Structures are given as C-alpha cells and as structure tokens.
C-alpha cells in the first residue's frame, strides 16, 4: 500500500511541477483567433476581417479571412490559404 501511495504522489508531483512548454508561433502562418497577424490585419469593405502571415521571400504569404457566426458570437476564421504578392491565389503554394 505504501508503494501505491508513493507512486501516486510521484506521478502527481511530476504532472503538477513539470515546466510549461512554450513554443513560439510560426510568423508565416496567421491565426485570427489569437490575433497573430504578423503581416497585418484589417477588414475588406468594412465587413470581412482578414489576417495575413509574414511574407515569404518570393512575395507570397498566407491569408486568412473571418466570418460572422451569428449575433453576439465571436468571429469564425477560415483556414489560411496562400496568395501571391498581388493577393491572388498562388497555385504553387507558399515557399520559404
């Protein structure tokens, strides 16, 4: 019984005393929910919010648009997609 108590205490201490892992976000990939818009944010025609990632060397970047989910609800965000420097969909994808 003593072994079980010591094991349980060890597991609990390991879970609660372990350091928290913090990873830095990729600045090229926008996250509208967290407002990680390293390439800028704003609205299109005062209605559609957008969030851009940091630009790649070739001028392409990830672009994310938001949408209203309903009255008094937070914004929803579409998955980011790659666009060229002019804002057109980039068929080759974003490359570092």
Position 75 pLDDT exceeds 70: yes
What mean pLDDT comes out for the span 8-12? 70
Question: Six-digit token pair at 45?
Answer: 């025609």
Q: Looking at the 3D structure of the chain, how many domains does it have?
A: 1
pTM of the model: 0.69
Any domain includes 4: yes
How does residue 13 score in pLDDT terms, banded at 50, 70 and 90? Answer: low
The whole-number average pLDDT for the span 27-41 is 91
Residue 6 lies in a domain: yes
- Percent of the chain with pLDDT strictly greater than 70: 92
Query: pLDDT tens across 41-72, in order?
Result: 988 877 789 999 999 998 899 999 999 888 88
- 52 contacts: CB under 8 Å, gap ≥ 6: 30, 37, 38, 39, 40, 41, 61, 62, 63, 64
- Structural domain harbouring 54: 1-83
Which residues face 40 on adjacent strands?
52
Calpha distance 52→71 (Å, rounded): 25
């Amino acid at each position: 019984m003593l072994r079980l108590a010591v094991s349980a205490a060890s597991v609990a201490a390991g879970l609660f005393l372990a350091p928290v892992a913090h990873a830095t976000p990729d600045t090229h990939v926008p996250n509208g929910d967290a407002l990680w818009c390293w390439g800028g944010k704003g609205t299109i025609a005062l209605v559609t919010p957008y969030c851009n990632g940091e630009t790649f060397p070739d001028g392409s970047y990830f672009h994310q648009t938001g949408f209203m989910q309903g009255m008094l609800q937070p914004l929803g965000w579409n998955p980011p997609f790659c666009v060229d420097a002019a804002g057109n969909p980039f068929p080759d994808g974003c490359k570092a």
